[in-house]
Amino acid sequence: MSKSKPAFFITGTDTDCGKTYVSAALIRHLQQKYASVAGLKPIASGFEPVDGRMQNADVEALTLASNAALAPELINRYSYHPAIAPHIAAGQLGDIICTDLIELDVARALEQVDALVVEGVGGWLVPLSESGSVNIEILAQRLELPVVLVVGMRLGCLSHALLTARAIIQSGVPFAGWVANHVDPEFDFLRDNIATLENQMPVPKLFEVPYRCNSDKYAEVEACTEHWLGLLRSL
């Protein structure tokens, strides 16, 4: 895949670790430098009726952050209503999640925008097929985009983060770094846990996302991403 334009793949330690929030913040920041920037969520599970149509919160967030109008099927190729693992949802419909098609969607999107952010689903090894032979790792290898790992800072995050980082490196894809996302305001010894990851993660911490407390903190995240972008440009 062409790397002539900035494009990044956002993954996470697990579900609800903040991938969409970080992806949307990066999209908005990139718009300060590039005329057209969009976000893709190729696979999404969990749709609810909103104003007479089915919506997925992650897809909507990326679409709202984007300033380029892409075809809906490019933004979200595979849509599954129940909030369950995508391979299970696909199996219920007799569907097959095709990484070839997603790769083509990303290439087509890059033809229409100046910069692109692609968000994965779940964690790094989430299956995309019943056999497990296709998963998020395989998709990321196909796309060959720099990977950013979002770590939800909560109890259990150390093992999740270190295991995921090891798997990303073993996959051979470009690994830009990790983001510490404060998802639990009552997480004990937060700074100690971040220090542990800073010492043991094989790639640098790019920045931290403050706990949102139900308020809009995008501006705070955008203010931190210049350092992030500098690191990504070196890949």
Q: What is the value of pTM for the model shown?
A: 0.90
* Domain presence at residue 44: yes
* Domain presence at residue 91: yes
Q: Given this model, what pLDDT does residue 227 score?
A: 58
- Contact indicator for 153, 190 with CB cutoff of 8 Å: yes
Does position 225 have pLDDT exceeding 90, yes or no? no
* Domain presence at residue 1: no
* Domain presence at residue 2: no
The number of folded domains in the chain is 1
- Strand 147-152 relative to strand 175-181: parallel, antiparallel, unpaired? parallel
CATH of the domain at 41: 3.40.50.300
Confidence class of residue 112 from pLDDT cuts 50, 70 and 90? Answer: very high
Confidence class of residue 10 from pLDDT cuts 50, 70 and 90? Answer: very high
Of 228 and 81, more confident: 81
- Mean pLDDT along residues 172-181: 94
Boundaries of domain holding 45: 7-233
* Domain presence at residue 99: yes
Tokens of 113: 């925008």
* Domain presence at residue 199: yes
* Domain presence at residue 117: yes
| Span of 132-141, 154-163, 193-202, 207-216 with lowest mean pLDDT | 207-216
Torsional class of 94: left (φ above 0), alpha (ψ -120 to 50), beta (otherwise): left
User: What percent of the chain clears pLDDT 90, i.e. is strictly above it?
Assistant: 71
State the catalytic residues.
41
